[in-house]
Amino acid sequence: ETAVFQTPNYHVTQVGNEVSFNCKQTLGHDTMYWYKQDSKKLLKIMFSYNNKQLIVNETVPRRFSPQSSDKAHLNLRIKSVEPEDSAVYLCASSSDWGGYAEQFFGPGTRLTVL
Amino acid sequence: GDSVTQTEGPVTLSEGTSLTVNCSYETKQYPTLFWYVQYPGEGPQLLFKVPKANEKGSNRGFEATYNKEATSFHLQKASVQESDSAVYYCALSDNGTGGYKVVFGSGTRLLVSP
């Protein structure tokens, strides 16, 4: 099956803890993204990578760091989570880093910070 | 910076009625325009995209025309079904100072009752 896979589906943690989310795509794409979707369904890009190189880094707190081991994987680490980090984190990939191609999204990881 | 503004939801309709979700955009570039749809528990998926001004995109009975003069890309469907209940995002591709990325509108939740 070719798609975008994310783990875990859900994660509940306490303020100050570190969390990591995994994303893998089997579509053969070179470009991958992380988005944050808040409770009002606002969708904001956080990072994008093309062939393991960071190409977009929006203004996000420094406690967020993407990690890419190869072009099929893009993980997200949050060091010392805050309550405002509660959201759904969506991973996506596309065949074109220029933003013109369709983006394929995973199902998301829902983070709840207590 | 670039922005997308769309109809604030929720939009509540009965099956068989017509739908219009307004989308207006601001950009200094010549963007590709997209409509994405997100069903509950899933990531967004492309409904259709239109790369050129004055062209129309369509899929599953939905359609929108890229109106460069009015900077609009309104989504329409003549007769909605209960299965169309979802969140709809208008989006544009952008080549900003941080590199290429897609800018999403705030999303419009559509609720269709039988």
User: What is the share, in percent, of chain A residues with pLDDT greater than 90?
Assistant: 77
Instruction: Say which residues have a Cβ less than 8 Å from residue A30's Cβ, sequence separation at least 6.
Output: A50, A51, A71, A95, A97
Average pLDDT of the residues in A44-54: 86
Q: How much is the mean pLDDT over chain B? A: 93
User: What is the share, in percent, of chain B residues with pLDDT greater than 70?
Assistant: 95
CA-based nearest residue in chain A for residue B6 = A42
pLDDT tens digit sequence for B70-104: 999 999 999 999 999 999 999 998 766 555 778 89
Q: Which residues from A are below 8 Å from B51, CB to CB?
A: 100
Q: Would the CB atoms of A99 and B98 count as touching at under 8 Å?
A: no
Mutate to test the interface with A, among B36, B39, B59, B102 (most CBs of A within 10 A): B102
pLDDT at B98 (0 to 100):
53
DSSP letter at A29? -
pLDDT of B42 strictly over 80:
yes
DSSP letter at A102? P
pLDDT tens digit sequence for A59-107: 789 999 999 989 999 999 999 999 999 999 999 999 987 778 899 999 9
CA angle B71, B73, B75 (to 5 degrees): 155
On whether any CB of chain B is under 8 Å from the CB of A105, the answer is yes
Q: Would the CB atoms of B109 and A41 count as touching at under 8 Å?
A: yes
pLDDT at B88 (0 to 100):
98
- Do A87 and A38 touch, CB atoms closer than 8 A? yes
pLDDT at A4 (0 to 100):
97
